[in-house]
Chain A
Amino acid sequence: MLKVENIEVVYDEVILVLRGLSLEVAEGKVVALLGSNGAGKSTTLKAISGLLPSEDGEITDGEISFRDRPITGSDAAEIVRRGISQVLEGRRVFEHLTTDENLRAGGHTRDGNLAAGLEQVYDYFPALADRKTQTAGYLSGGEQQMLAIGRALMTEPQLMTLDEPSLGLAPRLVTEIFEIVRRLNQELGTTILIVEQNARLALEIADYAYIMENGRIVLDGDARELASNPDVQEFYLGVTESGGRRSYRDVKHYRRRKRWL
């Protein structure tokens, strides 16, 4: 469905952020993109959504295609019309608009009446239904994240990309939000590409996962297989080989030596 082939992204014409990154998202699946801070996960999503020009970034090489049609360098609004919507990192609700207006803004590209779409969102997020006329900036963090996902849902996406939906939320809320993402995938057939720091949760709901380091993919595979991979366990899931604790010094030493590429 989505194919990213060997893309190279440069910021400010000098900073090379993605170096030949390739990944593929199959229709109807949940795919996770994992990696440490600064690996280039968010940049990957922005490249897909066409947001790079607004941050002085540029795809200098490679190609992105959606349903076998190239979208490399397309206008962000055009990409949304094609069926890709992103839930930005840090929620980013329209603070001075009400909940309802936020969702209506999400329905910008929809034809005709928004009522059915609104009803669907309020169905998935009953908490938002009680806050329809409230200014979004004053919602709680969890409600804002729900609103951000609901807003993306309003664009009727075939592929929804989520950038760290767990950021800054209480564990119980995180589980709730992941559960809803899973339901969107199963009930509406929305394909999901999710970027997460919380690797354990992401691997739980994902079918397939990619692991990034320094602007390229270093490891990929079936989510369940990856979860049992000893390297992944050590670096992302915090499980050590023996199951016991290790000296911090050993870990550092090991890390310095160990690279996938």
Chain B
Amino acid sequence: MEQFIQLTVNGLADGAILTLAALGFVLIYKASGVINFAQGFFLAVGAYVLWTAIVEVGLHWTLGVLVALAVGALLGISVERLLLRPLVGQPIIAVIMVTIGLAQILEASIDLIWGTEPRTFPDFIPSGAVEVLGARITEGRLWALGLTALALIAFGLFFTRSRQGIAMRAVADDQQAAMVMGISVRRTYAIAWALAGVSAVVGGMLVANLTGVSQSVAGFGLLVFPVVILGGLDSVPGAVVGGAIIGLLTSYTGGYIGGGLQTVIPYIALVAILMVRPYGLFGQVRIERV
């Protein structure tokens, strides 16, 4: 029983980080229909920048986090401006290939700048543990849960209350109609990418806190694919449920079966869901009036 609780909490916490990483992915897909294969490396870049700011430069961790968030937003905006804007109107396959290329570039750049040696993540996130129903939960995981909850509330309010948030959803629905409302489609894309960058930095921070700073952060980030396919590419609640399911699945498989199956199981789930519900659990089904 204790093991079950332990695995559940760990799974949920990992799922929360996945959700956070998937949020950025969903935002971009929703606003511009682009599938960003480089999302995992956004997480890795975030983790490395954090490490540099806090360990190398010696900034206070609050300042370091702010710097990393800014870099994340900037990374997102520049990718949109430099790589994707020239591709507006091109076939979607071209755009997808560009994001795959971008993933390679980011991976290589990380090796070039920071080398391949793993670094220890600065320990500003408390490393204690609390006892819940007999299971030990590290504070890092509690942070993951808390931060994700916070991010979700913030995104939820942004999309239903704020002018820019509603404008983003409008663009996602019908670009031309959004244009005749005076909504700038370009600015909307830029904001979507900036937000994706920011959420990737937070995700990268939480992953690196658990695993250390290395390219494996990006590997964890790649798990966004099973998450978003499961939840639906364009659904925020889908990212939450998808994250939780994949997190729990991995955690249970690792705890009860083991043998490395836990690294494969998310992708088995991915294939299964594609066969049953190709648009995911919460994906947008086209509205058709009859």
Q: Report A's interface with B, CB cutoff 8 A.
A: 49-51, 54, 56, 75-77, 80-81, 85-88, 92-97, 101-102, 104-109, 135, 137-138, 140-141, 151-152, 154-155
Using known A-B contacts A92-B174, A94-B173, A97-B173, determine if residue A76 contacts B167 with beta carbons closer than 8 Å: no
Give Cα A14 to B183, complex, Å. 29
Q: Which of B16-69 contact A (CB under 8 A)?
A: none
B180's contact among A76, A104, A107, A140, by CB below 8 Å, is which? A76
Chain B positions within 8 Å of A96 at CB level: 169, 172-173, 284, 287
Residue from A50, A138, A155 within 8 A of B181 (CB atoms): A155
Give the complex CA separation of A93 and B284 in angstroms.
16
Does B86 sit at the interface, judged by CB under 8 A?
Answer: no
Q: B180 touching A86 by the CB < 8 A rule?
A: yes
A108 with B173, Cβ < 8 A, contacts A96-B287, A137-B289 known: no
What separation, in Å, do the CA atoms of A250 and B284 have in the docked complex?
53
Assuming the A-B contacts A105-B183, A108-B181, are A97 and B175 also in contact, with contact meaning beta carbons closer than 8 angstroms in the complex? no
Q: Which residues of B lie under 8 Å from residue A56 when comparing CB positions? A: 89
- A107 to B180, alpha carbons, bound, how many Å? 11
Chain B interface secondary structure, helix, strand, loop or mixed?
A: helix
Do residues B176 and A54 form an inter-chain contact, with CB atoms below 8 A? yes
Across the interface, B176 reaches (CB within 8 A) one of A88, A106, A140, A151, namely A88
- Establish whether residues A76 and B173, one from each chain, have CB atoms under 8 Å apart when the complex forms: no
A141 to B288, CA, bound (A): 12
The answer to whether A105 and B170 touch across the interface, beta carbons within 8 angstroms, is yes
15 A-B pairs, CB-CB below 8 angstroms?
A: A76-B179, A85-B182, A87-B180, A94-B173, A96-B169, A97-B166, A97-B169, A97-B170, A97-B173, A101-B160, A106-B181, A107-B163, A108-B163, A109-B182, A154-B181
Closest 10 CB pairs of A and B: A80-B182, A137-B287, A109-B182, A76-B179, A105-B170, A94-B173, A92-B177, A77-B184, A86-B180, A95-B287
Query: A88 and B289 in contact (CB under 8 A), knowing A97-B166, A155-B182?
Result: no
The answer on a CB contact under 8 Å between A138 and B179 is: no
Assembly CA distance A77 to B181 (angstroms)? 7
Residues of B within 8 A of A104 (CB): 163, 166
Provide the bound-state CA to CA distance between A135 and B289, in Å: 12
* Complex Cα gap A105–B160 (Å): 11
A51 contacts B180, CB within 8 Å?
A: yes
Q: Cβ of B106 < 8 Å from any Cβ of A? A: no
User: In the complex, how many residue pairs between chain A and chain B have their CB atoms under 8 Å apart?
Assistant: 91
A50 vs B170: C-alpha distance when bound (angstroms): 18
Which of A86, A94, A106, A138 contacts B289, CB < 8 Å?
A: A138
Residue interface mask B230-261, A partner, CB < 8 A = 1: 00000000000000000000000000000000
Q: CB within 8 Å of A: which of B129-188?
A: 160, 163, 166-167, 169-170, 172-184
Cα–Cα distance between A59 and B287 once the two chains are bound (Å): 34
Given contacts A152-B180, A155-B182, contact A54 B289 (CB under 8 A): no
Residues of A within 8 A of B289 (CB): 137-138, 140-141
Residue in B89, B166, B184 whose CB lies within 8 Å of A105: B166
Q: Is the CB of A108 within 8 A of B182?
A: yes
> How many angstroms between the C-alpha atoms of A149 and B184 in the bound complex?
20
Return the CB mask of B102-146 against A: 1 if under 8 Å, else 0. 000000000000000000000000000000000000000000000
Let me know if B180 and A85 touch, CB within 8 A.
Answer: yes
Report the nearest B residue to A114, measured CB to CB. B163
